[in-house]
Structure 1
Amino acid sequence: MKKFWNWKNQAQTENSPAERTLFLNGTIAEESWFDDDVTPQLFKDELNAGEGDITVWINSPGGDCVAAAQIYNMLSNYKGKVTVKIDGIAASAASVIAMAGKEVLMSPVSMLMIHNPMTIAMGDHAEMQKAIDMLAEVKESIINAYVLKTGLSRAKLSHLMDSETWMNANKAVELGFADGTLTRDNGGAENSNMEDAVEAVMFSSRAVNNALQNKISAKYGKQKQTVVQQSEIPAPETNERNVDALLERLDIIKNHI
């Protein structure tokens, strides 16, 4: 079985427990986790194999939300302090796991991304509705983790997920998803206030797509009208439609589906 997690310094000394480090890299639950009793138990056994505080390094694009939920619960219920450090990306399901940290720190060049859960479904309208209802419940469960960490309203978090929101370290700190940024001083990692050095940036793929669509519609719709006015010649009949007409047609089709 290919594992997406790896432990370092699991063993304890006679005098004190070792500093435990957990690395979560790559896709979460690449092979199995859903409807599987072996993989979750293996992770839990390794988590509880030692004592003391844990540092969790995350660099993952996400994956199975069921696996993420179980890992989140296991880390949240761990007796020692859990510190999460994001050194690359914590996206999708990985962002949920990150919320289990008592303290969440991000590299100044790392990113955090949240979005709506997704699935693949097949069947008639009843089966499709079941899938829609299931995704709605999964989204609410994910929002629970974000609310506990950030203190943001459910409506705000829902909007951020709808828009597929990407945040740099400072924006994540500003919104409460992280507690600080990482620097390398004397060989170690620690909190640092980077607000003066790095601008807080948030990116929404949906907002960009909508803005691009509006620009295309405005540009080509206006261009066609200008040509007609300058030439004062009626446009020849054609089967082509400008972007405004196509968008209007799509809206009519959507309303009748």
Structure 2
Amino acid sequence: MKKFWNWVKNEDGRTLHLDGVIAEESWFGDEVTPKQFKSELNNDGGNITVWINSPGGDVFAASQIYNMLMDYKGDVTVKIDGIAASAASVIAMAGGEVHMSPVSMMMIHNPMTIAFGDTAEMKKAIQMLSEVKESIINAYELKTGLSRTKLSHMMDDESWFNSKKAVELGFADAIMFQEESNQDSSDEGVIYNKMAVVNSFLHKLPQKKTGTDITVLDKRLDLLKF
């Protein structure tokens, strides 16, 4: 049976690597695979680190993994080193701490399906997709604290987040390989940087305060309005 996960145990604890498409061949309609994953997850204790690099896949398989990780007794740290898109982003929400590589990406969008049949069957498919979307929003809302309306609009737009944007929105908690002091960019820091640029610019201007100089100064300062 094909698995898209891989466990590695070392002196630092257990590490789980989730690579590739979720539900590729083995998850869809397979009740054995989720059981095996749960068995391997609970085969040992301690805190675990989950590395994710996946474009997504089957949302129900992702939901099972999410639930298993949320229910796990130890601490779960998620690290995204490539991409956590679609269903994989749902799994990422199970991390007590979610860390993203500076060059990684996260993507959320509406669930999709293939339907066949008459009008009644199409309506059933639409209703099912609507309920699945609400269940996915539950996971995003729990992690980010964002409103359901905002999350819904983000999914409608198929939103892509780099690591900084993901941290800003609450989908992630930190950016890997950065010092803790650099993780939080406050408004005060931004204002200070702007003032530093302006002050440096002013020191380079002629000290003569003629009417012409003031006009030039006003025009140049307009260029500094970011």
Q: TM-score, normalised by structure 1?
A: 0.69
Q: CA deviation at 1:194?
A: 7.2
Residues 108-257 of structure 1 aligned to structure 2 (within 5 Å): 108-183=102-177, 193=183, 195=185
* Residue number in structure 2 paired with 1:66: 60
**For 2:158 and 2:175, how far apart are their aligned partners in 1?**
22
SS in 1 for 2:122: helix
The AA in structure 2 aligned to 1:70 is: Q
Q: CA deviation at 1:33?
A: 2.0
Say what the alpha-carbon RMSD is for the aligned residues: 1.8
Q: TM-score, normalised by structure 2?
A: 0.79
Percent identity over the alignment is 72
Cα contact 1:68–1:97 (8 A) shared by 2: yes
**For 1:51 and 1:155, how far apart are their aligned partners in 2?**
38
**For 1:71 and 1:143, how far apart are their aligned partners in 2?**
16
The counterpart of 1:86, out of the listed 80, 84, 93, is 80
**For 1:26 and 1:33, how far apart are their aligned partners in 2?**
13
**For 1:32 and 1:131, how far apart are their aligned partners in 2?**
23
* Residue number in structure 1 paired with 2:14: 20
SS in 2 for 1:178: coil
Cα contact 2:89–2:107 (8 A) shared by 1: yes
**For 1:58 and 1:191, how far apart are their aligned partners in 2?**
25
Task: Please list the CA deviations of residues 171-210 of structure 1 after superposition, one character each: whole Å capped at 9, or x if unmatched.
Answer: 000000000100078xxxx8951759xxxxxxxxxxxxxx
SS in 1 for 2:135: helix
SS in 1 for 2:177: strand
The counterpart of 1:76, out of the listed 49, 67, 70, is 70
Can you give the 5+ residue segments of structure 1 that lack an aligned partner in the other structure?
11-16, 197-257
SS in 1 for 2:176: strand
Task: Please list the CA deviations of residues 6-52 of structure 1 after superposition, one character each: whole Å capped at 9, or x if unmatched.
Answer: 00007xxxxxx861000000000101223322100010000001110
**For 2:20 and 2:37, how far apart are their aligned partners in 1?**
16
The AA in structure 2 aligned to 1:2 is: K
* Residue number in structure 2 paired with 1:226: none
**For 1:47 and 1:195, how far apart are their aligned partners in 2?**
37
**For 1:163 and 1:42, how far apart are their aligned partners in 2?**
35
Q: Does 1:32 align with 2:35?
A: no
Cα contact 2:3–2:26 (8 A) shared by 1: no
**For 2:156 and 2:111, how far apart are their aligned partners in 1?**
10
SS in 2 for 1:183: coil
Residue correspondences, number:
186
Task: Please list the CA deviations of residues 37-95 of structure 1 after superposition, one character each: whole Å capped at 9, or x if unmatched.
Answer: 21000100000011100000000000000000000000000000000000000000000
* Residue number in structure 2 paired with 1:2: 2
SS in 2 for 1:9: strand
Can you give the 5+ residue segments of structure 2 that lack an aligned partner in the other structure?
187-226
**For 2:119 and 2:49, how far apart are their aligned partners in 1?**
46
SS in 2 for 1:171: helix
* Greater RCO structure (CA 8 Å; 6+ sep): 2
The AA in structure 2 aligned to 1:162 is: D
* Residue number in structure 1 paired with 2:42: 48
